[in-house]
Amino acid sequence: MHEYELKLLSLLKEKNSAGLDYLEKNLGMGRDAIMWAAESLMGKNAVSIERVISKNVELSAEGKTDLEGFPEEALIGELYKAGGHGKVSGIKNQVSLSWAKRNGWISIDKGEVRLTGAGKDVAAGKGSYGLRELLVGLSSGKGGQNLLSRDKEGVETLIRRGLVEVKERSMVKSVSITEAGREMLEALGGGNEIGALSKEIIKSGSWKSAGFRPYDINAEVDRTFPARLHPVREFINFVRHKWLEMGFIEVSGPIVESSFWNFDALFSPQDHPTREMQDTFFLSNPREISIEDLEALERVRKMHTAGWKEVWMEGLAKQAVLRTHTTSVSAHFIRKLSNTLNENYPLRLFSVGSVFRNESIDYKHLAELHQYDGIIIGNNLTLANLIDTLKKFYGKLGFDNVKLRPSYFPFTEPSLEAFYYDEEHGDTIELTGGGIIRKEITKAMGTDRTVLAWGGGIERLMINSMVFGLDSIQTPYKNNLGWLRARKNLKV
Amino acid sequence: MAVVGFEIKDFESLGYTKGRLAELLPAVGLEVEGMTDAEVRTNVTPNRPDLLDFIGVLRLLDSFTGKSVPNEGRYTIKNQPVMNIEVAKEVKEVRPFIAGLVVKNVDLSGNTLKYLISFTDKFADTYGRRRAKLAIGLHNLDAIEGSELVYGAAAGGEEQHFVPLNSAKQMSFSEAVRSTEKGRTYGYTLGGAGTRYPFLKDSKKVLALIPIINSEATRVTEKTRELFVDITGTSRGTIDNAANLLACSFMYSGAEVYPVTVEYKNGAEVTPKPAYREVKVSLRNAERTLGVELGRHNVIGLANKMGYVAAKYGGNVQFFVPPYRVDVLNDQDVIEDLAISFGYDNIVAAPVSGYVDGLADELTEEENDMAVFMIGIGYTEAINSSLTNEKVNFENMRRKASADKYISIADSKTLSVSMLRTALLPALMQNLRESMNERMPHRMFEIGRVYGLEDKRPREAIHIALVSEHARANFAEIRSAVDEILKYTEMKDVEFKEARDEAFIAGRCASVVAGDNVVGVLGEMHPEVLERFGLEEPTVGAELTIVKEIKYEV
């Protein structure tokens, strides 16, 4: 039962029956609210409503124009100006002629119209026209009801002339509680229900005998706007946790890198197309980053000279870039951790971070994306080990039936690509590229151990995982508050 | 990656139906990009230029299915050289090396010529680094006068003239560079002013402006039966590889290849010389790399399928790499081919043994915890790119840029990218603008990396920034939020001091000072800043340093 209904019913319980004015005064509710409650309760047979029919007159459109002057008044006005007489044939408005005659304002004789004395007085403004005064009285609204009963004949004339209309209105005289209403109230606990709970009610213990008024649970409520974490953070954490579950240690490295760690250490030839300006962000300040690990520098030089049979230039290796992949972090850690005595091999490492491509930014391309990279450093690691790890890892991320196929990366041999078949689109979707880090590289980094490696794009994975209701990788980075508030959950 | 398309009917006539191709191509390691009833498109990785070639793909399918068994003598050229190229000393500075071959009895009908041109073009674009390192020219042998060619380089581009391929008129070298499409695409290889123009001539005329365009005179058509091929470049290894690869392709297609003598100032060379070469592979090492007991399988058969010649040698196996495989550097590459031959799907997954505890990165966890705290005080998280530009980072914030303090990017494809951000607030202001039509209040934050330069060395820090935009946003609100963040971070001895930062209204701006260090700033954003970012309601903001400098373990 709505709060308004309950209030009304509770009042009527004492009063039995009450008029609108009384209710308005004692309920503290507006007339519309009372009427709504009464109608609603009547629908439930809890109250009966006694109505009175009232009649009201309202002016018609024609009546409103005639407020300024009736046609018969206009007629005698014209006659008055014309010297008090004129020809019947010259008068177009027959109605005005007949009313002027009925009022005794004119006489007609042999086609000639003449103003009478009374007519002259009215035309000269010396007398008043009762019918019009009645119309004016009705139009003001006030006392319309009285006029209706006082000057019945006049009103009827106005009705006949189509100047006023009578409208009937049903008005509530009183509202009375029914037996059913009393029972209903009884069932609710006698009407002494608690609305808003307050400190007083709680402390006094009055709630123990009162009971709580139920609320309309489907009523409109104000919206709450949640503050939320960014979906990319949520997704990266989701991926990180899978790694941590598999016993991987998280590492990180700088995004501002020398070409040495981003390219050369990974056996990427110095004239490789990805090292051109159009793919990689080179920096103008700082232009170069020094390579402090001189031992690694010399070994990498040898690796390139022997492998690519080209002159290797230290100057190019020093060029500062924004890293193009997180494999640069892996390179650092292969160097740092693959040849120690006290590490527990196999050592599992991963990193997640921003990578950069010199792209023309549009609806499909971003220049900064996130990547993840995993490596396992160990003594007797095989391609079969990598395949097992990838199947487990992507299985945890929600991709079943991951398959593998050959691929190529300059820094792995053998190389592979993990993919799955997307039945909805009838297409194979690539998940990751990886392989065994080339011996040339591990050797240059100072170890004979084997390194398994793989990596991929966070955003691509996010799209393939169909989380957050994402339609494009652009959407989360617009940071539109409306989208961030309303976006879907991470559900894989 | 290069995408190459072939018509299926060309394979069908050689015994490979569409269905068979769909099954075989991925098995041999060639990714199918798309397949219709008429055409198959493959994605060729940069290590396998031999697969840009129709014949190359066919050859691999033939060996993989056992239709042809590789043998060591297959590509030995017994013919004597039929042409001589004299190399002038002027080429030394521009493009020092040339190789050539003569092909007779070649059939270029159907799609063959189209495939050949597509192959050599893509080969020179990828392996040849857009012709800078390697370029290939195809000529009609009949149109060449005599058998003595000159490979030279002209100092001026005006002296010599020829009719470039697909042109109707005589042009000078410099004009051909300027006014032909190939000239505009590959002219860059010649370098700037004062360049020399490499060319190839027979006894009478110019055959090609290298590596730009051939002469119309030696145009090759579907009816051409004899070819001369020139290969030029900056690295001898690369052009020798290319010449061998091309020779193998022509020989496999059934044509006859004749070598060419190249006379350098310091001695003569005969090209091409395709030959299988031995790569030492320890079978035990291969097994340990793949995790497969190859010894229990027919290793020789596996090698043959990938085009290798292999033979048992005592208890070991000898592997000989075919001459068209320019990517095989050592045993690792052979081992990969054995894996492909064996089938990646047939490798039984084996778990990595040994257990190590996982460990999360501390800084990342700190950021995570802090982000959750910010949600708790009603701010929604934004993540913005580190890439920005001076206008957004400084100018819109009414802040001054000093060039030696931030990291700038040399050559960006996108105008809005020219530097790494030094602050988080500007992007948050952009986010507020993007969120303009959403219900107020707008409260957002970001925890992220900002970058700077100190003594020319890059420096990476972690900041947190927050903004609040709504009709009643004021200094007290942001001070109160910052108070709570400072309590959360447990920063010691922190005080607010009056500060001047042009991004904020003077007198309604404070710096956060911890000891001697300024660790943050907060205040009411200046109306001009709001105007520049397109905001219409009062906005307050703050930015604090969480980690002053990240020291990586690397």
A408 within a domain of the structure (yes/no): yes
Q: Which of B47, B364, B409 sits opposite A283 (nearest CB)?
A: B409
Q: Which of B422, B544, B552 is nearest to B491 (CA)?
A: B544
pTM assigned to the model: 0.79
| Selected residue of A408, A409, A421 to mutate for chain B interface (largest B Cβ count, 10 A) | A408
pLDDT digits (tens, 9 = 90+) for B327-380: 999 999 999 999 999 999 999 999 998 877 899 999 999 999 999 999 999 999
Both tokens of B416, joined, read 């809005």
Is the Cβ of B313 closer than 8 Å to some Cβ of chain A? no
Quick check: helix, strand or coil at residue B153? strand
Stretch 338-357 of chain A: residues touching chain B, C-beta under 8 Å: 344-348, 352, 354, 356
Q: Quick check: A228 and B380 CB within 8 A? A: yes
C-alpha to C-alpha distance for A185 and A192, rounded to whole angstroms: 10
**What local confidence, expressed as pLDDT, does residue B346 receive?**
94
Both tokens of A336, joined, read 């740092």
CA dihedral B535, B536, B540, B542 (to 10 degrees): 0
Is the Cβ of B168 closer than 8 Å to some Cβ of chain A? no
Is pLDDT of A197 > 80? yes
Both tokens of A397, joined, read 């991320």
A157 within a domain of the structure (yes/no): no
Chain B hits for A383, CB-CB cut-off 8 Å, are 289-292, 339, 347
- B327 vs A408, B241, B243, B321, CA distance in Å? 11, 10, 14, 10
Stretch 386-445 of chain B: residues touching chain A, C-beta under 8 Å: 386-387, 403-404, 406-414, 416-417, 420, 427, 431-432, 434-435, 437-439, 442-444
Residue corresponding to tokens 């390139």: A304
Average pLDDT over residues B274-282: 93
Is pLDDT of A143 > 60? no
Residue of B nearest to A333 (CA): B554
Domain total for chain A? 1
A371 within a domain of the structure (yes/no): yes
**What local confidence, expressed as pLDDT, does residue B473 receive?**
96
pLDDT digits (tens, 9 = 90+) for A156-172: 888 888 888 887 778 88
The pLDDT confidence band at residue A147, using thresholds 50, 70 and 90, is low
The pLDDT confidence band at residue A145, using thresholds 50, 70 and 90, is low
When mean pLDDT is compared across A360-374, B161-175, B462-476, the lowest value belongs to A360-374
Q: What crossing angle do the helices spanning A152-160 and A130-139 adopt, rounded to 10°?
A: 90
The pLDDT confidence band at residue A492, using thresholds 50, 70 and 90, is low
Q: How many CB pairs under 8 A join A and B?
A: 268
**Domain hosting residue A293, numbered range:** 233-486
Stretch 173-232 of chain A: residues touching chain B, C-beta under 8 Å: 223, 225-230, 232
* DSSP H helices in A246-293: 259-262
Both tokens of B200, joined, read 């190839």
Is the Cβ of A438 closer than 8 Å to some Cβ of chain B? yes
Do residues B60 and B307 lie in contact, with contact meaning Cβ atoms separated by under 8 Å? yes
Out of A129-133, A190-194, B156-160, B280-284, give the one with best mean pLDDT. B280-284
Asked if omega into A414 is within 30° of 0 (cis), the reply is yes
Nearest-neighbour CA in chain A from B336: distance (Å): 5
C-alpha to C-alpha distance for B339 and A435, rounded to whole angstroms: 12
Is pLDDT of A190 > 70? no
Both tokens of A441, joined, read 């590289």
Average pLDDT over residues A73-85: 84
Residue of B nearest to A406 (CA): B29
Both tokens of A275, joined, read 């090292």
Is pLDDT of B252 > 90? yes
Stretch 495-534 of chain B: residues touching chain A, C-beta under 8 Å: none
A81 within a domain of the structure (yes/no): no
**What local confidence, expressed as pLDDT, does residue B333 receive?**
94
**What local confidence, expressed as pLDDT, does residue A277 receive?**
67
With a pLDDT cut of 90, the percent of chain B lying above it is 87
Chain A hits for B288, CB-CB cut-off 8 Å, are 380, 382
Is pLDDT of A209 > 80? no
* DSSP H helices in B346-422: 362-376, 390-393
Is pLDDT of A146 > 70? no
**What local confidence, expressed as pLDDT, does residue A195 receive?**
78
Residue corresponding to tokens 């697969």: B51
Do residues A350 and A243 lie in contact, with contact meaning Cβ atoms separated by under 8 Å? yes
The pLDDT confidence band at residue A191, using thresholds 50, 70 and 90, is low
Q: Which of B47, B411, B414 sits opposite A282 (nearest CB)?
A: B411
With a pLDDT cut of 70, the percent of chain B lying above it is 99
Do residues A27 and A7 lie in contact, with contact meaning Cβ atoms separated by under 8 Å? yes
Average pLDDT over residues A223-236: 95
Amino acid symbol at A362: D
Chain B hits for A245, CB-CB cut-off 8 Å, are 358
Q: Quick check: A388 and B458 CB within 8 A? A: no
When mean pLDDT is compared across A414-428, B225-239, B491-505, the lowest value belongs to A414-428
| Selected residue of A287, A324, A468, A479 to mutate for chain B interface (largest B Cβ count, 10 A) | A479
The pLDDT confidence band at residue B295, using thresholds 50, 70 and 90, is confident
Is pLDDT of B193 > 70? no
Q: Quick check: B449 and A255 CB within 8 A? A: yes
Q: Which of B482, B540, B541, B539 is nearest to B514 (CA)?
A: B482
Is pLDDT of A490 > 70? yes
Backbone angles phi, psi at B323, to 5 degrees: -65, -20
Q: Which of A244, A281, A285 sits opposite B453 (nearest CB)?
A: A285
The pLDDT confidence band at residue B35, using thresholds 50, 70 and 90, is very high
Q: Which of A348, A405, A476 sits opposite B344 (nearest CB)?
A: A405
Mean pLDDT estimate for chain A: 88
Domains in chain B: ranges and CATH: 2-64 (3.30.56), 83-271 (3.50.40.10), 277-346 (3.30.56.10), 362-547 (3.30.930.10)
pLDDT digits (tens, 9 = 90+) for A16-49: 898 888 888 888 888 888 888 899 899 989 999 9
Stretch 96-135 of chain B: residues touching chain A, C-beta under 8 Å: 126, 129, 132-133
Q: Which residue has the higher pLDDT, B40 or B193?
A: B40
Q: Which of B235, B361, B381 sits opposite A252 (nearest CB)?
A: B361
**What local confidence, expressed as pLDDT, does residue A156 receive?**
84
pLDDT digits (tens, 9 = 90+) for B148-171: 999 999 988 888 999 999 999 999
The pLDDT confidence band at residue A189, using thresholds 50, 70 and 90, is low
With a pLDDT cut of 70, the percent of chain A lying above it is 96
Q: Which of B148, B149, B118, B155 is nearest to B136 (CA)?
A: B118
pLDDT digits (tens, 9 = 90+) for A376-402: 999 989 999 999 999 999 999 999 889
Q: Is the dihedral of CA B235, B241, B247, B250 positive or negative?
A: negative
Q: Which of A228, A309, A358 sits opposite B375 (nearest CB)?
A: A228
Q: Quick check: B26 and A405 CB within 8 A? A: yes
Do residues A50 and A89 lie in contact, with contact meaning Cβ atoms separated by under 8 Å? no
Q: Which of A228, A281, A482 sits opposite B381 (nearest CB)?
A: A228
Stretch 240-279 of chain B: residues touching chain A, C-beta under 8 Å: none
> Which CATH number is A404's domain given?
3.30.930.10
Is pLDDT of A343 > 80? no
Nearest-neighbour CA in chain B from A208: distance (Å): 36
**What local confidence, expressed as pLDDT, does residue A132 receive?**
83
Out of A459-468, B223-232, B285-294, B310-319, give the one with best mean pLDDT. B223-232
The residues with which B1 forms a beta bridge, in sequence order, are none
Q: Which of B205, B187, B186 is nearest to B195 (CA)?
A: B187
Is pLDDT of A193 > 80? no
pLDDT digits (tens, 9 = 90+) for B73-119: 999 999 999 999 999 999 998 999 999 999 999 999 999 999 999 99
Nearest-neighbour CA in chain B from A304: distance (Å): 12
Quick check: helix, strand or coil at residue A4? helix
**What local confidence, expressed as pLDDT, does residue A144 receive?**
55
Do residues B420 and B401 lie in contact, with contact meaning Cβ atoms separated by under 8 Å? no
Q: Which residue has the higher pLDDT, B128 or A59?
A: B128
Q: Which of B470, B448, B296, B481 is nearest to B377 (CA)?
A: B481
| Selected residue of A230, A274, A429, A468 to mutate for chain B interface (largest B Cβ count, 10 A) | A230
Nearest-neighbour CA in chain B from A307: distance (Å): 7
Nearest-neighbour CA in chain B from A218: distance (Å): 23
Average pLDDT over residues B509-537: 96
C-alpha to C-alpha distance for A208 and A201, rounded to whole angstroms: 9
Is pLDDT of A335 > 90? yes
A403 within a domain of the structure (yes/no): yes
Residue of A nearest to B330 (CA): A307
The pLDDT confidence band at residue A236, using thresholds 50, 70 and 90, is very high
Residue corresponding to tokens 């060449």: B144
CA dihedral B78, B80, B82, B86 (to 10 degrees): 110
**What local confidence, expressed as pLDDT, does residue A273 receive?**
75
**What local confidence, expressed as pLDDT, does residue A61 receive?**
85
Nearest-neighbour CA in chain A from B347: distance (Å): 6
Chain B hits for A255, CB-CB cut-off 8 Å, are 386, 449, 460
Q: Quick check: A283 and B407 CB within 8 A? A: yes
**What local confidence, expressed as pLDDT, does residue A31 receive?**
85
C-alpha to C-alpha distance for A179 and B143, rounded to whole angstroms: 118
Q: Quick check: A436 and B460 CB within 8 A? A: no
Distance linking the first and last C-alpha atoms of chain B: 32
The residues with which A354 forms a beta bridge, in sequence order, are A370
Average pLDDT over residues B309-315: 83
